């Protein structure tokens, strides 16, 4: 789930484990570890992936900024 040097990508939660906070917990942990190593954590996303877009917008607005939105 970590992309060199400090980005997060390819997050996927199995259907039967969704809506339980696991994705939020995982990204919170990873972003904290990345920051502890002196990097600025960030996430990338395809804007058409609305579920992922909403997840990062609602849970991790500190690491998720929108660039190039029309």
Residue 70 lies in a domain: no
Alpha helical stretches, state H, 21-67: 22-36, 50-59
Q: What is the pLDDT of residues 48-63, one digit of tens each?
A: 888 888 888 787 776 6
Residue 41 lies in a domain: yes
The answer to whether the predicted template modeling score (pTM) of the entire model surpasses 0.85 is no
What is the span of the domain harbouring residue 43?
A: 2-59
Residue 48 lies in a domain: yes
- 31 burial (CB, 10 Å; 0-12 / 13-18 / 19+) is buried
Residue 36 lies in a domain: yes
* pLDDT value of residue 1: 52
Yes or no: say if 23 and 11 are a contact pair by the CB < 8 Å rule.
Answer: yes
- 64 burial (CB, 10 Å; 0-12 / 13-18 / 19+) is buried
Residue 69 lies in a domain: no
**CA 61 vs CA 17, 27, 69: distances in Å:** 23, 12, 15
* pLDDT value of residue 4: 58
* Count of domains observed in the chain: 1
Chain mean pLDDT for the chain: 79
Residue 21 lies in a domain: yes
């Amino acid at each position: 789930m970590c992309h060199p040097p400090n980005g997060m990508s390819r997050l996927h939660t199995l259907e039967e484990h969704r809506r339980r906070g696991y994705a939020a917990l995982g990204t919170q942990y990873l972003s904290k570890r990345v920051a502890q190593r002196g990097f600025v954590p960030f996430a990338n996303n395809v804007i058409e992936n609305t579920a992922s877009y909403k997840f990062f917008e609602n849970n991790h607005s500190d690491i998720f900024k929108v660039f190039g939105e029309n």
